[in-house]
Amino acid sequence: MNVLITGATKGIGRAITTIFAQNEAHIAVAARNEADLMQLKQEVEDQFATAKIYPFTADLGKKEEVLAFAKFVKSHFTKVDVLINNVGVFLPGDVLEGDEGSLEQLIEVNLYSAFHLSRAIVPNMIAQKKGHIFNMCSIASLGPRINSGLYVISKYAMLGMSKSMREELKDKGVKVTSVLPGPTWSSAWEGSGLPKERLMPAEEVAQIIWNAYRLGPNAVIEELLIQPQFGDI
């Protein structure tokens, strides 16, 4: 099983990498920090002898680096079974008063990275009439949030793209799942004052994604909305 995961070194991305590695996957991973990537490779391969990690350092907010990652993937994999468009960034800010340039950055990372990578990789899936794409959207894809209007725009767009991909690919043997997690624990929440148990563990989100992937060829989960037991924050 050959898998691509963007934003793989932290939070949900790292948890997804771990669960696919546990199930003997060969995984191409991309993130900005080379040291984090190499640490991920060592830890995962030490823990799971049958897994293989192919790290690639890239700023996925830049089209040319997304395409370089796609080229790297094609040099190692003759086929791609799973594409997980996970990389994302959060910048606070309302629509009318947010910092100049924030929306552009959010769109480049949260939307264009998945757009360009999908266009580079999915033709391989179409040719083999098999594959599964997971697009990591957000609870913010569904409605406005205080001080997050710019982020909401990028995640609305991501969900719209994901739903469009589902319609375009459902007769080609390629599955598309939109994943909408609510607040999930990662280092970004440290210092927030919230108890860890108030948020979802990234490992449980990853487990749900793995379960969705394991469905047979005649079923697909189109949309996964996952929330903490006590609700949104």
- Can you give the residue ranges of every domain in the chain? 2-226
> Any residues with CB less than 8 A from the CB of 117 and at least 6 apart, and which?
4, 6, 60, 66, 69, 70, 83, 85
Q: How far apart are CA 173 and CA 217, in angstroms?
A: 8
**pLDDT digit string, tens, across residues 147-197:** 899 999 999 999 999 999 999 999 999 999 999 999 998 866 767 778 888
Which residues are registered as beta bridge partners of 180? 225
2-226 classified as CATH 3.60.21.10: no
Q: What is the DSSP string of 152-207?
A: HHHHHHHHHHHHHHHHHHTTTTEEEEEEEE-SB-SGGGTTS---GGGSB-HHHHHH
**pLDDT digit string, tens, across residues 62-105:** 999 999 999 999 999 999 999 999 999 999 999 999 899 999 99
Q: How far apart are CA 64 and CA 89, in angstroms?
A: 19
